[in-house]
Structure 1
Amino acid sequence: MKRLLVTVLLFMLATSSRSQVMQQKAQWAMISMPQLKCWVCKDKVDKFLLTEKGPNGDAGIIKWTIAMNTGTLKIQYVPDRITLDYIRTTLNNAGYDADSTKAEPEAYKMLPPICKRAEDGGGPQKGKPCSLPPDL
């Protein structure tokens, strides 16, 4: 009887740990963010994603990289905890366009002029490249 109980417990443990590993497989996604061309925007997005990531990283966002020269965000996330649509909505709530979704109007108004859309007079100013680190 003990042997049967131990076998059942081991089977349950192996099955549950295997399903947890399968659930936690992270994915990478690329999000186009045309406004993301300067260090001010990069810092704002980094800070916003850090708050969304949560203190223990348990919200589903693992890590990200920002390419200012192409205006893209490469983000690693766990689909069981957070969806790509939710991430886009989060970026919209920070005031930024993400892929085909537009920024929340009130949050967009709060952005500094350099972080606004080119058609609104934002982005790199003539003779002042934004993609260089601020201390150069």
Structure 2
Amino acid sequence: MRAVALVLALISSAFAYTVLTPNGSQGWTNQGGQPLTWQRVDTDRLNFTVLLTNQKVTGFEPQILAALVDGSLGNTSLNAPSGGWPTGTNFRVNLVQDDRNLNTILAQSPEFSILPSSSTIGSYVAPFIVPVWFNSPGSQ
């Protein structure tokens, strides 16, 4: 009986919200809105709250990024939390029931990184090298 219940629980969890991005190969930067994409099935809740977590950083408090997101959209852009985007590794996005039930996780992303924006690299100007010709002795 327990085995049947376990199998049913695993099957039903396979057809629930799934976070597509961010993921281990497509993280975020610390500038501007960041993309969140997901899949859902008709039996999933109609909305959810997005929570940014990092259990490997001591003292990092989970941060609500968006509440009452319309699950039928499949994607949204998330604004930075107050204080701006943190940077580092081992972040996760949790889709949770609502802002009062942060431990009721509907889906969880794989770990991903939030990296500093590369926009400052674009303002770098490479030095201009001027060729210099030397006259060798005996040349005119």
TM surpasses 0.5 = no
More helix, by proportion: 1
TM-score (norm 1): 0.28
More strand, by proportion: 2
Q: Mark the structure with the bigger radius of gyration.
A: 2
